[in-house]
């Protein structure tokens, strides 16, 4: 009964977040250092990372993007939580976060060693309430990646998934750069 109640609360929280994003007014974008976002997430997820014996490698000196810190934290928290959650039994999660400038955009990539996403599902995983059929009982609400897509779109970016050459998954988030790459190198 307690587990069912907790799952229902989590589902309702996710539905509320998803709905708020759909009806949010035009967002004001600020310069947000991704280093700060990921430092905050490392602290927030510390207990879960330790319990899962996860290795979270975050590239040094991540760029500054245009966004809202709270939305960026929610977006990347969903990606990191999925990377920790969807691993083979007995396999500690290995998660890597990297970023690169591509013109006026910053592409943030989250790579993991999890169960992966079948190529036929790469777009469908972003559909609300769509869950992959895995060998584990269904986890989560099926809204995490839909929330990520909605946030990325609201910030003027996008999110997509790839199947890496090795096992796992790779998710990319394109966001507007706060500064052009040459200003970062010289400023």
Residues contacting residue 82 through CB under 8 Å, at least 6 positions apart = 112, 114, 140, 144, 145
Burial class (CB in 10 A: 0-12, 13-18, 19+), 61: exposed
pTM of the model: 0.80
β-strand partners of 112: 95, 169
Query: What are the structural domain ranges in the chain?
Result: 2-186
pLDDT in tens, 14-50: 445 545 555 556 778 999 999 999 999 999 999 999 9
Q: What are phi and psi for residue 24, nearest 5 degrees?
A: -70, 145
End-to-end Cα distance, the chain: 57
Q: Which CATH number fits domain 2-186: 3.20.20.370, 3.30.565.10, 1.10.3720.10, 3.90.1150.10?
A: 3.30.565.10
pLDDT in tens, 66-95: 999 999 999 999 999 999 988 888 899 999
Q: CB of 111 within 8 A of CB of 170?
A: yes
Q: What local confidence, expressed as pLDDT, does residue 7 receive?
A: 45
pLDDT in tens, 89-141: 889 999 999 999 999 999 999 999 998 878 887 677 767 655 565 544 446 55
- For residue 90, the 8-state DSSP code is T
């Amino acid at each position: 009964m307690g587990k069912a109640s907790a799952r229902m609360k989590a589902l309702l929280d996710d539905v509320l977040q998803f709905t708020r994003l759909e009806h949010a007014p035009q967002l004001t974008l600020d310069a947000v250092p991704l280093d700060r976002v990921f430092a905050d997430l490392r602290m927030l997820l510390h207990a879960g990372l330790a319990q899962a014996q996860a290795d979270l490698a975050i590239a040094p000196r991540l760029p500054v993007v245009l966004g809202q810190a709270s939305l960026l934290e929610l977006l990347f928290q969903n990606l990191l939580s999925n990377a920790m959650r969807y691993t083979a039994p007995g396999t500690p999660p290995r998660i890597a976060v990297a970023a690169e400038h591509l013109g006026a955009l910053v592409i943030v990539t989250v790579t993991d060693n999890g169960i992966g996403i079948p190529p036929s599902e790469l777009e469908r995983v972003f559909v609300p309430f769509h869950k992959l059929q895995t060998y584990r009982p269904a986890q989560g609400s099926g809204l995490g990646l839909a929330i990520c897509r909605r946030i990325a779109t609201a910030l003027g970016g996008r999110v997509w998934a790839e199947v890496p050459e090795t096992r796992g998954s790779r998710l990319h988030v394109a966001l507007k750069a706060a500064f052009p790459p040459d200003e970062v190198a010289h400023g």
